[in-house]
Structure 1
Amino acid sequence: MSQSSLLSKRVLDESSSDDDDDFIISAAQIVQSASLLQKKQGGSVPGRTYIYRNREEGHARLYQDYIDENPTYGPSLFRRRFRMNRPLFLRILKSVEEHDEYFQQSINAAHQLGLSCLQKVTAAFRMLTYGVPADATDEYVRIGESTSIQSLKKIVKAVIEIFGDEYLREPNENDIAKLFAIGKERGFPGMLGYKHKPTIILEAVASKDLYIWHAFFVLPGSLNDINVLHRSPLFSKLSNGEAPKVNYNINGHDYTMGYYLADGIYPSWATLVKTIPEPRGSKRTYFAKAQEAVRKDVERAFGVLQSERELDEGIVDPNERFDNGGGNVQPSHDHTTDLDEFIENHMKIRNKETHHQLQEDLVEYLWQHHPDMYT
């Protein structure tokens, strides 16, 4: 008989009051229930089997394989398996560990050393890299399924919070100046990038250095380049008068809007420079060849993403950064510009005369200044 039951019996023998008996029995039952609950604290989750994974050994093996000064697997295998070079990986590793205490190694309630930041980040990157389920990383990294999932969610949030102000933003004035300089060197002064729609649900703008400056995802369906363009926010800031101011001159003509290279299906807007489908004469033939050659850069950018899935490196490459970062890309709830000004800007963007004049100026500029670049 348990101690609490003996206590109940003893009290009943010494008291003749039924009310007192009921009260004391209830109190004894409460004490017994509390005692059972206290015994369960510190145990494993009901229905879950405890697995001793030897986390310390898992960390040591992972460190020796990839992080040590003389790792088992060299730089080429590291890049192949993590889809980025080791310095970039270590930069992300250090940044997330300093940013979120979740990635800092600690001692758990059982006085055992917890998972290291290296193990949590590696598990998350393996899922991103290979698309494997969460428990597929357990055997090598020594990390449970639920912890892998949590690590993945945490690192995605941390990367956005750490690198968002620098990389997840629209181009500012300094960026535009750099893009203009790149465009001028290639024979296209005033060029901001190359507009491309690789699938029916994604519109994007990229530059030669593999920066993707604009990405617009839309629902699939009966969509093409034209109606995706009409839904796109690519020129929204320009229409609202909020885009950085630009000025450049080609063949004596002044322009106040940058442009993107695009293929022939797009409309004849002042902000789009298309190829010439059936060029006549040496100048126009040369322009068409140059425009199509430069436009290949955006296809190269997506070729890198599709073949090696190196999106993380494209976002946070320490050797390629733009100073004086602009504002984060986020929905704006500010009051829009005056309606008349908005309509005027909107009409400037869609001005066909400016489109054709700009194309003619670029034909002459290429022929006069870069006659041998695309031969």
Structure 2
Amino acid sequence: MARNTMKMILNDFDSDDKLQLITIAAMEEERLNRERCSRRRSGSIEGHAVIYRDRVQGHERLYRDYFSETAIYPAHLFRRRFRMNRSLFLHILSTVEAYDPYFVQKADAVEIIGLSSLQKMTAAMRMLAYGVTDSVDDYVRIGESTAIESLKHFVKAVVATFSKTYLRSPNNDDISRLLAMGSNRGFPGMLGSIDCMHWKWKNCPTARKGMYSGHIHEPTIILEAVASQDLWIWHAFFGMPRSHNNINVLDRSSVFSLLTQGRAPPVNYSINRNDYTMGYYLADGIYPQCATFVKTISSPQGNKQIYFAKAQESARKDVERAFGMLQARFAIVREPARFWKTKIMEDIIMACIIMHNMVAEDERDDNGLDFNYDTISESLPPVSHERTPELFEFIQNHHCIRDRGTHSKLKQDLVEHLWTLHGDSL
């Protein structure tokens, strides 16, 4: 009907008038199409709604509240909300900003100032500390997708810049300090305690749930760690699925790699007039009977064994305390993970461990731990960085680690040693 009416109207005009009328109709139709498109779209992505958040005001409020010389919130509130002291936060900020240009404040194509490095890192830290994204939008003035992007860039930068220092194997000074701590607790030669933690994976793909689920039918990923009395995490191995147990994880981790390669600093100590050349970790009952593990006695007989079991189980809680502190400090590893890729989860948990160690180092003088380093009579030789030993030496070192005879002898010597130190006071 409309086409017939249009034909009747065009028949009343000559050819020039018809051309002009058609041109006007086409221009009007194009204008109407542009209006419909403009109502549907408001941003670079179709269907994306733009919210004017006033980023500059958000930066100014954040700086005025926490980072100015006359900050509104005092230092103890900064420590509670950012999980670290202000000086350490600014040190991480400057290092990350120098490493990744993503955190440098820039202007977009229309000269609108973007988010500052303070806003991006604050959003990332709040997500790590509280485990949610919506809580940072109304204060930091950052959208959910940008906050997640900032988190991914931040954890990658932290792992890349600080892992060599804060995820290192113990050096000579570290071993001296660890041996002093162990000796003061009645465990000469102890380098820490070892255990595993599980992180639930909420968004585990359906095709992989069977591999990442255990007897409780919830997909989780395992973290193996070694921690000392000051809650410093010396070793972290992450990525094994829940279908594995602690022994399988141990076989695939690198906790004894330096020792088997002959490049670990020697640890020489004497217990009950017997000499030992390898340090050990306190472990629970599932771990194998190795010369590098000291386990509790499941059914202790007599006062000596009862006291040893109590002392071992008490000191072994260091790694569990470290897990608890890590989850309390960074709620994102306490709540089920909502990411789809294990690589992102690995970066997140490693970054949390690194910052956990940085906080432990920054606040080490405040925790009241004071050790007598003079108890280590001999200085340790420097760490060897020569080539990996030959296969025969590698196998020999591996057999020394797995020696059950040394494991039993070491445990018995520790039972006698602890009873000699504290038996009279019981």
Q: Tell whether the structures are fold-level matches, with TM greater than 0.5.
A: yes
1:369, distance to aligned residue in structure 2 (A): 3.0
Residue identity opposite 1:337 in structure 2: P
2:356 to 286, 297, 314: 314
1:111, distance to aligned residue in structure 2 (A): 3.9
Deviations 1:19-67 (A, max 9, x none): xxxxxxxxxxxxxxxxxxxxxxxx9636455544322211111122222
- Counterparts of 1:53 and 1:225, CA distance in 2: 48
Distance 1:236 1:372, change over 3 A: farther
- Counterparts of 1:117 and 1:289, CA distance in 2: 49
- Contact 2:308 2:418 (C-alpha < 8 Å) held by counterparts: yes
- Contact 1:283 1:363 (C-alpha < 8 Å) held by counterparts: yes
Matched, 1:275 2:275: no
Equivalence for 2:132: 132
1:314, distance to aligned residue in structure 2 (A): 1.4
Equivalence for 1:331: none
Q: Unpaired segments of 5 or more residues in structure 2?
A: 1-41, 199-213, 215-221, 332-351, 365-381
Deviations 1:289-347 (A, max 9, x none): 111111112111111122332836413225268xxxx99xxxxxx97532221221111
- Contact 1:173 1:245 (C-alpha < 8 Å) held by counterparts: no
- Counterparts of 1:347 and 1:181, CA distance in 2: 28
- Counterparts of 1:273 and 1:304, CA distance in 2: 24
4+ residue runs of structure 1 moved beyond 6 angstroms?
A: none
Residue identity opposite 2:139 in structure 1: Y
- Counterparts of 1:193 and 1:361, CA distance in 2: 18
- Counterparts of 1:227 and 1:185, CA distance in 2: 33
Q: How many residues align?
A: 321
Residue identity opposite 2:176 in structure 1: A
Equivalence for 2:122: 122
* Larger RCO (CA within 8 A; separation ≥ 6): 2
Could you say what secondary structure the match of 1:285 adopts?
helix
- What are the equivalent positions in structure 2 for 1:16-95 lying under 5 Å apart? 45=44, 47=46, 51-95=51-95
1:93, distance to aligned residue in structure 2 (A): 2.0
- Contact 1:180 1:190 (C-alpha < 8 Å) held by counterparts: yes
Equivalence for 2:104: 104
Equivalence for 2:32: none
Percent sequence identity is: 58
- Counterparts of 1:149 and 1:100, CA distance in 2: 16
- Counterparts of 2:153 and 2:308, CA distance in 1: 49
**RMSD (Å), alpha carbons:** 3.0
Question: With structure 2 as the length reference, what TM-score do the two structures score?
Answer: 0.67
Matched, 1:367 2:423: no
Range with greater deviation from structure 2 (160-169 or 227-236): 227-236
Equivalence for 2:158: 159
Equivalence for 1:339: 391
1:176, distance to aligned residue in structure 2 (A): 1.5
Q: Unpaired segments of 5 or more residues in structure 1?
A: 1-42, 328-333
Distance 1:286 1:355, change over 3 A: same
Matched, 1:247 2:268: yes
Deviations 1:115-148 (A, max 9, x none): 2211111122222223334x66333222344543
- Counterparts of 1:96 and 1:184, CA distance in 2: 39
- Contact 2:223 2:240 (C-alpha < 8 Å) held by counterparts: no
- Counterparts of 1:71 and 1:129, CA distance in 2: 21
Could you say what secondary structure the match of 2:362 adopts?
coil
Matched, 1:351 2:403: yes
1:204, distance to aligned residue in structure 2 (A): 1.8
